[in-house]
Chain A
Amino acid sequence: MGLIVKTTARATIPLIGIFGAYVVSHGHLTPGGGFQGGATIAGAGILFLIAFGLGEMKRRYNHHLYSALEGLGGLVFLGAAMLGLGVAFFYNTLWHSGPVFNGQPGTLLSAGYLPVMNLVVGLKVFAGLVSAMVAIAAFRRWKE
């Protein structure tokens, strides 16, 4: 699109990304969490695609990297769920007797595996939404 939209996007995309990262990392303290923050960061990707066009997006987008990141998000979520498998599946052993994430409730480094799960769900949602959006934007059958 035009010059104004491109310049505004250059200023706005880091803002949306940082705010999405804030929503993801404070998922156990404030409204939001993995899905909402991931969708917000994917909104930055949509803004990049709209403002700079599909050609620039294809140059920056690596399908294998995003596919691997989405798989990694799901696997780390399952790994965090299996940390306390000695007691039960999804047992929050990081909170009860873990070395990290066992701070005072209400602080950032608390709530056991919840921040880890929020981070990986945010990564998975971001990678999945951006991959789906690029795949839809690259679909050009009507222009034969």
Chain B
Amino acid sequence: MMAPEFFYAAIIVMIGAFLALLRVFFGPSVPDRVVGVDTLNTLIVAGMVLLGAAYDRTIYIDIAIVYALLSYVGTLAIAKYLQGGLE
């Protein structure tokens, strides 16, 4: 049972992710790129949930949860590096 609305929503999220990717490519400073990657992570989680609904598979939501948790750790690691490293 494929629902086309979820595919349309995923395409809209993909357009937003492409705009965030432009910020990652052309960001003049490093924090700009970090914020771009963080936005991209959140949009990818939204896309994963929407595609899981579109393909009608609940187990795809597990991957979205893991990605959301680990992207937080990754952004935190970059922030810690930018503010002066470990301790």
Chain A residues close to B by CB (< 8 Å): 1, 5, 12, 15-16, 19, 23, 30-32, 36, 40, 43, 46-47, 49-51, 53-55, 137
Contacts and interface: CB of A to CB of B under 8 A. Distances in A.
Interface string B46-87: 000000000000011011011001101100110010010011
A40 to B, nearest CB: 6
Q: Is the interface of B mostly helix, strand, loop or mixed?
A: helix
21 contacts: A1-B80, A1-B83, A15-B69, A19-B65, A30-B59, A30-B62, A31-B59, A31-B60, A36-B66, A40-B69, A43-B69, A43-B70, A43-B73, A46-B73, A46-B77, A47-B72, A50-B77, A50-B86, A51-B76, A53-B87, A54-B86
B69 A16 contact: yes
A40 B66 contact: yes
Contacts of B70: 40, 43
A137 B80 CA distance: 13
Contacts, number: 46
Given A19-B69, A40-B66, A43-B73, 10 more contacts: A15-B69, A19-B65, A31-B62, A32-B66, A36-B66, A46-B73, A50-B73, A50-B76, A50-B77, A54-B86
A50 B80 contact: yes
A47 B87 contact: no
B53 to A, nearest CB: 16
Nearest to B60: A31
Nearest to B81: A50
A137 B86 CA distance: 8
A31 B76 CA distance: 26
Contacts of A40: 66, 69-70
B67 to A, nearest CB: 10
A54 B87 contact: yes
Nearest to A26: B62
B76 A5 contact: yes
